[in-house]
Amino acid sequence: MYGVRYLQAFLSLSIASIFYLSKAQDQTLRGATTTVAALSASFFTGLYTSLLIYRAFLSPLCKFPGPFGARLTNFWLSARIGTSSHALFKIQDLHKKYGPIVRIGSNDLAIADANFVQPIYGMAAKCTKSPWYDADYPLISLQTTRVKAIHNKRRQVWIHAFSDKALRGYEKRIEPFAALLLERIRSFEERPVDVARWFHYFSYDIMGDLAFGKDFNMLSSGEEHFAVNLLNEGMQPMAMHFPPWFAQALTAIPGLATSYWKFAAYCSQQLDNRLNAKSGIFDMVTPLLAPFDGNKPTGLDLSYLQADTRLLIVAGSDTISATLVYMFYHLAQNPSIASKARDELEALCNADGSFNHREAMRNEYINGVINEALRMHPPVPSNLQRLTPPEGLKVGETFIPGDTNVLCPQYTLGRSESAYVDPERFIPERWSTRPELIKNKNAFLPFSLGKTDFPIF
């Protein structure tokens, strides 16, 4: 979170130095500027020469394979990704070339080995969230909270929003949106339909209703809400894996991240509307407001709430739509699986056409279909970064130095031959009647593990 401050400090010092030389040393403004520029160039040349030599040849991470350019700068991966938003494929290609542990940055390792999952993400893991989570600063949501004590305290409040009682209440709220989605799809009759678009509308309408008590009206209108469009535009730079300090610098430049800040402002406004409405309907925001006992939150508490409501929309909507899209893609590719899944669901259908959701949740085959979609296309595919503890991390015979950024790319793990038999095939039975098709269950982490085993945690 200090990147912008460092830049501000450098610019302030440079201006002060120019002012001092021009006034106290009787130099012209041009001469003072030239002197400061020369001194700055000399300083940064020496600094970065020594830094690059260390990263390339002396760093303890040099023992791990990877592209030489990645040793020198974290911008190497960003440059390879560009604006394609396909970091998951690039990282998978790197693992195919260099092996299970690849150095993808000056202080970053990608680890496609299921044996590292528990030590990095598990309940007993000593690793902490990396500086990557500061990229959204000053917005600090539950997901981007790096201090464990604060995270645990806030998580206890959040848990009430996902209790069994709360989830049963949400089901009733979701049913009208599901009915409208089916109506929209049926309206195409025999014509092709872009289900990805309609699943996108469906998920955002649901999360808008559950978070703010007001949906985005996308299913009804058939058009994307302006706020969702702002979100998509504002989040594009995040897909390029920029270093967190650089991402912060970009968002701090006036006019460069307009969409990002407009969406944040929209969520804050919707939160204000929700606070003023004093709705008696239980939604996901209700437990977050409970500690204030009817009083309006202020200061840091209000800032947390603003970030958390934005998180609800972003994390909830994207995970729902992505999972639905890929699940139905594989069902379309595998008619026999689709037929069996339909038979399983019809057996759970009540006389009035409704479903017994409790029974559906316990259905092994339906869960297998969902888990296969999550395995092959995890909603969070490649960027759950963690920082190793100061003493380092040892797994088997491999030692990772302390204070190293590590991540286990879920997309690569989900298709790993060391973790699954026939990993490129969609086989729901591997989660029930054919467990031998799973070699290492630790490879399955579509969201995360431990206290962050949920899109928003």
How far is 92 from 69, CA to CA, in rounded Å? 17
Average pLDDT of the segment spanning 123-150: 88
The SS3 call for residue 55 is helix
Say which residue, 96 or 81, is predicted with more confidence: 96
CA atoms of 193 and 396, how far apart (whole Å): 50
Conformational region of residue 210, where left means phi above 0, alpha means psi within -120 to 50, and beta covers everything else: alpha
Where would I find the H helices in 63-147? 68-72, 75-81, 87-98, 117-121
**Residue 254: band (very low, low, confident or very high) from pLDDT cuts 50, 70, 90:** confident
Alpha-carbon 324 to chain mean position: 17
Task: Give the domain ranges of the chain.
Answer: 1-58, 74-130+366-457, 147-333
**What would the DSSP string read from start to end of 4-22?**
HHHHHHHHHHHHHHHHHHH
Q: Provide the CB-side half-sphere exposure for 231 (13 A, CA).
A: 18
Phi, psi of 128 (to 5 degrees): -120, 170
Q: Would you say the C-alpha torsion 136, 137, 142, 144 has a positive or negative sign? A: positive
Tell me the pairing of strands 101-105 and 108-111: antiparallel
pLDDT digits (tens, 9 = 90+) for 356-412: 777 888 899 999 999 999 999 998 766 789 999 999 999 999 999 999 999 999 999
Q: What is the arithmetic mean of pLDDT over 84-89?
A: 74
In this predicted structure, the answer to whether residue 454 has a pLDDT above a threshold of 60 is no
Residue 420, pLDDT above cutoff 90: yes
pLDDT of 223-241, one tens digit each? 999 999 988 887 776 667 7
Give domain 147-333's CATH number out of 1.10.8.60, 1.10.630.10, 3.10.129.10, 1.10.540.10. 1.10.630.10
Least confident stretch, 46-50, 101-105, 234-238, 406-410: 234-238
Asked if residue 144 has pLDDT above 70, the reply is yes
CB within 8 Å of 226: residues ≥ 6 apart: none
